[in-house]
Chain A
Amino acid sequence: MIALNRNLLSRAVIGSCLATAAGVIQIHTADAAPSTVTAAGVTLTSESVILPGSSETFPGGAAAQVVNVNCIACHSADMILNQPALSKVAWQAEVTKMIKLYKAPVNETDVPAIVDYLANMKPQP
């Protein structure tokens, strides 16, 4: 699982890939008129959309690798890049929360490097 994850991330397309999987299917069926349901004077029409993906990664070259690998599978990087400056303790708590509560598949040995990266991020003004 992690191996595939790394593979996709190295192409920096994981977000777009997830986001467009259904979109690819949609393109083959785009010609068909969308089906509708009408009852009691209201009509609802089937929906088919493409949600944008994100190829954004964390800045910082090699130091960012550990965050790029572990932190953009469930949400795009902007979730983290838009956070205010947080203390190291607060970032440690966030990473623990991701692992314990949201079940992020992160190697214990990667945690210190992740927390270091996050605590040293300089949020944009």
Chain B
Amino acid sequence: MVETFPTSYSRGRRHFVGSAAALGAVMMSSVRAARAENMITLPFPEGPRSRPLTTAFPNKGEMILQRIRPPLLETPFEVFDQGILTPNDQFFVRWHLASIPQQIDVTTFRLMVGGHVNRPLSLSLSEVLELPRVELVAVNQCSGNSRGFFQPRVPGGEWGNGAMGNARWTGFRLRDLLDRAGVKAGAVQVQFNGLDGPTFPATPDFKKSLSIDHARDGEVIVAYLMNGEQMPLLNGFPLRLIVPGWYSTYWVKMLSHIEVLDRPDDNFWMKTAYRIPDTPGANVSPTETGYKTTPINRMLPRSFVTNLKTGDNVKAGATIDVRGIAFGGDCGVKNVGLSTDGGVTWITTKLGVNEGKYSFRGWRARVGVPASGVLTLSVRCTNTQGETQSWTPNWNPGGYMRNSIETTVLNIV
């Protein structure tokens, strides 16, 4: 059904070398060319800050190349100024393991449900499409979005702020599927696995779990459309788990196996990876050790200016439009404040269309530019639960959950 990469070195592949090298040369020359001509500088405190801009990935427009294999592609930040829905071809891409199927046959693909259920299922895509349809706009943000801004720096994907996106997801409720399979008494978690796999069989396969109550809350969905179209293969075609309000690590791509568990999941990607300090804002000091950890979970509020960036010039005495995006985390946006005086006073901005509590929300304001010096724009989102962004960035060794207030500094000319 799926033409997967060879997943181990045991398979002979010397006969590939000739043709693969030739093909590889063609493709690499495009990545290299992009590298030579078109670099972007991410505003990190120190290097490496430079990344290629690439159009070499299938169904993807121009993206910031963080890693070729397995792909880590970041959305150029200007894209967020174009609207609150992120276009599929510039939506960020994040894979952990390099054995990614490059061919998906929709006529043979199956979604399996098994484990602690009465009726294990194996559904074709046409059966999947017949399930009661739901639609939801939700932000998908990498746990490590903005990791490159951590101080002190931490190893990992050194993302700027573009490891996030917002899309309209169409699919069916996970609850409806689980009901069809008949969850047995005693179920505690539901585990999700996709078609991707490791290069070496011994590397832990990427699997994630949600509690049974979360999985059945009616909001977790399995999507087959992204902004009204089938999703790019690199964003999880044909099926992706959508966990509104939670970090992207749970949004399993190329979802193919759902396993209902009668015991807590102790696989590597739940038990060891993606753990955060069990403290407010996942914050610890860089020298702290021995704290309790917990699997990363709900997102926190964030907000950004999208039409201006640090270093841009503005005219003395002018009145300028400032606009951007905000999201509440796992609830809606209550308000977005803008400060030009380092937080002494806050202007209440005008919020844009409400696409639901899990979506980006646009905001805008008019700001008078002083006669000289610099203009600092700090933006702060407060969510409907009353949580607000703080000035002090959090720190943890994983580089997770950054959400401090962002400040844009403009030159007055």
Chain A residues with CB under 8 Å of chain B are 1, 4-5, 7-8, 11, 13, 15-26, 35-40, 42, 44-56, 73-76, 78-79, 81-86, 90, 94, 101-105, 123-125
Q: How many whole Å from A81's CB to the nearest CB in chain B?
A: 7
Which of A16, A22, A37, A124 has a CB less than 8 Å from the CB of B24?
A16
Given A20-B23, A76-B67, A90-B155, A47:B233 Cβ within 8 A: yes
B19 interfacial by beta-carbon distance below 8 Å:
yes
Q: How many whole Å from B353's CB to the nearest CB in chain A?
A: 25
Q: Are A37 and B25 in touch, CB under 8 angstroms?
A: no
B200 interfacial by beta-carbon distance below 8 Å:
yes
A42 to B268, CA, bound (A): 36
Q: Which residues 209-225 of B have a CB within 8 angstroms of A?
A: 224-225
B408 interfacial by beta-carbon distance below 8 Å:
no
Given A51-B57, A73-B199, A124-B47, A78:B68 Cβ within 8 A: yes
What are 9 A-B pairs at a CB distance below 8 A? A8-B17, A15-B24, A22-B4, A25-B103, A44-B238, A50-B58, A54-B31, A73-B9, A125-B48
Q: How many whole Å from A8's CB to the nearest CB in chain B?
A: 7
Chain A residues within an 8 Å CB radius of B346: none
Q: Are B224 and A81 in touch, CB under 8 angstroms?
A: no
A105 to B203, CA, bound (A): 10
Given A18-B199, A24-B20, A125-B49, A83:B155 Cβ within 8 A: yes
A61 to B57, CA, bound (A): 30
Contact string, B130-173, partner A, CB cutoff 8 A, digits 1/0? 10010000000000000010000101001000000000001000
Given A44-B224, A50-B102, A20:B20 Cβ within 8 A: yes
Contact string, B48-75, partner A, CB cutoff 8 A, digits 1/0? 1111001011110000011111110000
Given A17-B13, A45-B230, A11:B102 Cβ within 8 A: no
Q: Are B58 and A51 in touch, CB under 8 angstroms?
A: yes
B264 interfacial by beta-carbon distance below 8 Å:
no
A42 to B48, CA, bound (A): 44
Q: Are B20 and A17 in touch, CB under 8 angstroms?
A: yes
Q: How many whole Å from A77's CB to the nearest CB in chain B?
A: 9
Q: Are A17 and B106 in touch, CB under 8 angstroms?
A: no
Q: Are A24 and B49 in touch, CB under 8 angstroms?
A: no
Q: How many whole Å from B313's CB to the nearest CB in chain A?
A: 24
B98 interfacial by beta-carbon distance below 8 Å:
yes
B107 interfacial by beta-carbon distance below 8 Å:
yes
Q: Which of A1, A8, A18, A23 has the most CB of B within 10 A?
A: A18
Given A35-B105, A52-B57, A123-B47, A19:B24 Cβ within 8 A: yes
Q: How many whole Å from B124's CB to the nearest CB in chain A?
A: 7
Chain B residues within an 8 Å CB radius of A20: 16, 19-20, 23-24, 27
In the complex, given contacts A84-B46, A101-B272, what are 6 additional A-B residue pairs having Cβ atoms less than 8 angstroms apart? A16-B21, A51-B58, A51-B100, A85-B46, A101-B204, A124-B48
B347 interfacial by beta-carbon distance below 8 Å:
no
Q: How many whole Å from B210's CB to the nearest CB in chain A?
A: 23
Chain A residues within an 8 Å CB radius of B16: 17, 20-21, 24
Q: Are A46 and B158 in touch, CB under 8 angstroms?
A: no
A16 to B23, CA, bound (A): 8
Chain B residues within an 8 Å CB radius of A75: 67, 69-70, 98
Q: Are A13 and B17 in touch, CB under 8 angstroms?
A: yes
Given A25-B3, A73-B199, A123-B48, A51:B106 Cβ within 8 A: no
